Structure 1
Amino acid sequence: MNSLTVEQVLKEKKTHDPDSVKELNLGHKALTDVSCLSKFKNLEKLDLRFNNLKDLQGLKSCVNLKWLSVVENKLQSLSGIEALTKLTVLNAGKNKLKSMNEVSSLVNLGALILNDNEISSICKLDQLKDLNSLVLSRNPISEIGDSLSKSKKLTKISLSNCKIKAIGASLKSCSDLKELRLAHNEIKALPAELAVNKRLLNLDVGNNMITKLSGLEVLGTLSCLRNLNIRGNLISDNDKSAKQVIKLLPSSVNVFNAQPLDKISRKGKHIRLDTDDETFDAHHNKSTEEEQSREDRKSKKSSKRNKSEDEEEEANNDNDDHKSKKKKSKSNPHVDQVETERKEEPKKKNTSSNKFDDDATEKKQKKAIPKEELDAIDDAETSFAEIFARDDVSKGSSGDNIEKKKERSSAQETGLVKVIENNNRNKKKQTEKNQSKKSVVIDLPMEVEIGLGGESKWE
């Protein structure tokens, strides 16, 4: 498609009213004529990049345009845009423009981008009071002159890959300048007037003809400078001269020749600019290590203290057990006497049949007997009288006669009373009954009812 029609535009925007269209994207359509756009009186944004336009006469009536891009067309002039006084952004890069004079009337222009054209000189931009960005790189411009003397709001200027030989005082009015790109030119020195640009942050003068250190002395006055590139100049060809340049730089510079300037040498001293964070980290790590060390020492002391307390408690428990044993012996002399007599008494063997009955009966008794009593039964050194004494004490001295008879009957069945002589079984049985009652009811003091080990220490 070479020529654009109103119907095509309305169909694409799905409307019948040209006045309702405010924005159009017509890029990559190989357009050669856009005169139909004069019908769209309210058009504000227009993208015509990558077409075959040779002029902009078809846009004369689009007086409300604010944003226009005609990148990569075949424009040889900007004729036709003079009346577009509401334009704030104009991008006409990568065309065949030989002049930029037509833009001088665009009083509201904020950004002018005309890179990669054939423009040889910068026209007067006195009327462009709001211009803040000017991109004219890759044009055969040899000088800036006084074209920017009234452009006080410029913050970005790109004039790289031109033929500029000197800057002079051309930028003295640009007091708000923050970014200046002048790489690949023929500049031999930075002028002292550059000191006026106190707010400059980024400066690129790489691949020029600066050979002497004196040509860079003004850099020391740029107190806000952050990024500097001088690569491709003779002054930075070797380390020695580069170090000399570094000594000139203000302390604000942190990128030099596209490399982070974290370690630099100034006046023979090794200085690091970004040590604050590292110092803090080192101090923090050291503090953390010291705190950890203190915690470890406290933990060790606590462990020793706990160990000592445990040992002390264990010793106290052993002492209590020893006292308990003594008290037991004093409070229950009858039991000790019976035990002594039992040790002197000869052991008698049981028959195999009685042994079998004993095992069966023991299993039944173990289920109903508490652990301490079970241990006494399993212990070969424990006397029968002591077993009965334990059982009667746990139940109380006023136990049922029927229960006592059952216990004695069980003892008879299991052969536990085989110590009684066979020739007088009934008589001995009655005698053992009387002795058992006496040892439990009469000889044992009432306080032992709490337990054979004496009065409980637990509340």
Structure 2
Amino acid sequence: MIDLAWRSLTTLPPLPSEATGLRVDGNRLASLPGLSALPSLRVLHADGNRLTTVPRCPPYLEELYLYGNAIADLGDPLPPTLRHLSAGGNGLTEAPAWLWSLDRLESLNLAENALTTLPPGISNLRRLRMLDLGHNRLDAIPAEVGDLPLTDYLYLSDNGFTEAPASLGRLDRLAYLNLTDNRLTSLPSSLGDMASLVELRLYNNRLAELPSSIGRLGALRELHLKGNRLRELPPSIADLASLRQLDLRDNQLAGLPDLGRLHRLTHLDLRNNRLRTLPDTLPPALEKLDLRWNKLDDEPPVLSRLRDRGCVILR
């Protein structure tokens, strides 16, 4: 890897034709001519420059990182050998049709652009493990997203989604799902089919209830629901046997189901709800319980038991 990052470059020096990797992040490069003369180049890092067009790439490039430039159009097709593409933080308003033919892609980052639609052709990315479409202007998630072989993460935060398709339930190998900062009012019952989900982030939506199927997420360790409109929780939430962290801040909860079976839960955040009482049992392994900005009628006995075990309680 030839490392020329963070050197205030405006042009590239001569490069050896046998170079296999090039890192030029954080410079002032407005263009990258001559890369096609590097036939062995497999990896190009060019984040944080002043590029307005995608450089002409050598034919066997496998990784291309262009985050934080000023590229408004991805231009001509990229090499079909590409496995990782990062083009977030540019000025993209649409993705070209050829993008969905890059069937060797394993990760695709188009976050922080101005995309408004996704075509059904996204399902052609049959090797995709990681997809980041956060911070765009998308108003619908195509059902075909459920056909992707995603395993690592799916970021869909800060768009304009009002609903999530039932097809998300087919992502049964996905570990991380982020749908924060949208306008979701409900979740499909198929959510419970996402058997490998470890972390689920849904904060700052408009959810008034959760599907009872959420209790089937047996691998889930973190559930983030801050800033919704939840008035109650389904009793099945107590079936989340692997849960370690549960964030319920800024909702409208007036009561809680029995959570005593959440034996691995260590952090429970209930700030700014409408709680007047607590259930007789709470998770026995709690290390921190935040109850601030509720108006409990009295001191529930369960709090004394938790304090005796060393739990930090904030009221």
TM over 0.5: yes
User: Any conservation in 2 of the 1:247–1:267 contact (CA below 8 Å)?
Assistant: no
Aligned to 1:15: 17
Residues 1:145 and 1:266: Cα distance change in structure 2 (over 3 Å):
farther
- The partner residue of 1:172 within 188, 192, 196 is 192
User: Any conservation in 1 of the 2:162–2:183 contact (CA below 8 Å)?
Assistant: yes
Residues 1:274 and 1:73: Cα distance change in structure 2 (over 3 Å):
farther
Residues 1:216 and 1:267: Cα distance change in structure 2 (over 3 Å):
farther
Number of aligned residue pairs:
257
Q: Distance in 1 between matches of 2:259 and 2:78?
A: 58
Residues 1:116 and 1:25: Cα distance change in structure 2 (over 3 Å):
same
User: Any conservation in 2 of the 1:46–1:65 contact (CA below 8 Å)?
Assistant: yes
- The partner residue of 1:111 within 120, 125, 130 is 130
- The partner residue of 2:244 within 215, 226, 231 is 226
Q: Distance in 1 between matches of 2:68 and 2:122?
A: 21
Q: Given the alignment of the two structures, is residue 159 of structure 1 paired with residue 179 of structure 2, yes or no?
A: yes
> Alpha-carbon deviation of 1:172?
2.8
- The partner residue of 1:253 within 265, 283, 291 is 265
Q: Given the alignment of the two structures, is residue 36 of structure 1 paired with residue 56 of structure 2, yes or no?
A: yes
Aligned to 1:74: 91
> Alpha-carbon deviation of 1:82?
1.6
Letter in 1 for 2:130: A
Aligned to 1:191: 211
Residues 1:12 and 1:198: Cα distance change in structure 2 (over 3 Å):
farther
Q: Distance in 1 between matches of 2:136 and 2:99?
A: 17
- The partner residue of 1:150 within 164, 170, 179 is 170
Q: Distance in 2 between matches of 1:209 and 1:258?
A: 13
> Alpha-carbon deviation of 1:156?
0.6
Aligned to 1:432: none
Residues 1:24 and 1:247: Cα distance change in structure 2 (over 3 Å):
closer
User: Any conservation in 1 of the 2:212–2:234 contact (CA below 8 Å)?
Assistant: no
For normalisation by structure 2, the TM-score amounts to: 0.73
1:261 is paired with a residue whose SS is coil
Residues 1:181 and 1:274: Cα distance change in structure 2 (over 3 Å):
farther
2:64 is paired with a residue whose SS is strand
Deviations 1:329-368 (A, max 9, x none): xxxxxxxxxxxxxxxxxxxxxxxxxxxxxxxxxxxxxxxx
CA RMSD of aligned residues (A): 2.8
User: Any conservation in 2 of the 1:219–1:248 contact (CA below 8 Å)?
Assistant: no
Deviations 1:194-219 (A, max 9, x none): 1221111100111100123xx34222
User: Any conservation in 2 of the 1:122–1:147 contact (CA below 8 Å)?
Assistant: no
Q: Which has the higher strand share?
A: 2
Q: Given the alignment of the two structures, is residue 209 of structure 1 paired with residue 229 of structure 2, yes or no?
A: yes
> Alpha-carbon deviation of 1:273?
9.0
Q: Distance in 2 between matches of 1:253 and 1:273?
A: 15
Q: Which has the higher helix share?
A: 1
User: Any conservation in 2 of the 1:165–1:187 contact (CA below 8 Å)?
Assistant: yes
Aligned to 1:262: 287
Q: Distance in 2 between matches of 1:224 and 1:34?
A: 44
User: Any conservation in 2 of the 1:54–1:76 contact (CA below 8 Å)?
Assistant: yes
1:98 is paired with a residue whose SS is coil
Deviations 1:268-299 (A, max 9, x none): 474349959xxxxxxxxxxxxxxxxxxxxxxx
Residues 1:139 and 1:98: Cα distance change in structure 2 (over 3 Å):
same
Letter in 1 for 2:305: I
Aligned to 1:181: 201
The structure with the larger Rg is 1
Letter in 1 for 2:92: L
Q: Distance in 1 between matches of 2:61 and 2:308?
A: 51
Q: Distance in 2 between matches of 1:183 and 1:200?
A: 16
User: Any conservation in 1 of the 2:212–2:237 contact (CA below 8 Å)?
Assistant: no
> Alpha-carbon deviation of 1:119?
0.8
Overall identity of the aligned pairs, in %: 24
Letter in 2 for 1:257: D
Deviations 1:118-140 (A, max 9, x none): 01111112431244310000010
> Alpha-carbon deviation of 1:231?
0.3
Alignment of 1:345-364 (within 5 A): none
User: Any conservation in 2 of the 1:107–1:130 contact (CA below 8 Å)?
Assistant: no
> Alpha-carbon deviation of 1:29?
2.9
Aligned to 2:102: 84
User: Any conservation in 1 of the 2:248–2:270 contact (CA below 8 Å)?
Assistant: no
> Alpha-carbon deviation of 1:176?
0.8
Q: Distance in 2 between matches of 1:274 and 1:47?
A: 52
Residues 1:13 and 1:119: Cα distance change in structure 2 (over 3 Å):
farther
Q: Distance in 1 between matches of 2:305 and 2:155?
A: 37
Q: Given the alignment of the two structures, is residue 45 of structure 1 paired with residue 63 of structure 2, yes or no?
A: yes
